[in-house]
Amino acid sequence: MNFLWVALGGALGSVLRYALGLRFPIMQGQWPWATFGINTLGCLLIGILWAYCERSATLSPVVRPLLMVGVLGGFTTFSAFGLESLLIWRHGQPAMALGYMIASMLGGLLLAAAGAAFVERWL
């Protein structure tokens, strides 16, 4: 049954990512704000969910596969991040490509930690 929850969550997360990509289209040679925002928001949310799941014995066993694997797995866009980094580099902007890669990875790590810390302190 968990496979069904992961599939449903993945579909929802993918549709949300697609909608945000349409709302904030990527322009060649510019910072890919939609993917950056999606990936960093996904990291914040997974930190919150992970910490909350660790503390709550009352959560349904469906929550992790549905939200963490499904929704956030479909929502975040690491493959798009890799391609955009390559395209920025090939567009002759290696400094922006490196900055985007570093900011995305450090931002994701910091936001996942912030989400977990928030739950651990306030919930």
Separation between Cα atoms, residue 102 and residue 113, nearest integer Å: 16
- Residue length of the chain: 123
Determine whether the annotation assigns residue 35 to a binding site.
no
Rounded to 5 degrees, what are φ and ψ at 59? -70, 145
**The token pair that represents 66 in the structure block:** 């549905």
Which residue reads 């690491």 in tokens? 78
**Three-class SS of residue 62?**
coil
**The token pair that represents 73 in the structure block:** 């797995």
Determine whether the annotation assigns residue 40 to a binding site.
no
Q: Is 3 buried (19+), middle (13-18) or exposed (0-12) by CB count in 10 A?
A: exposed
> Binding site residues for Na(+), as ranges?
73, 76
> Binding site residues, as ranges?
73, 76
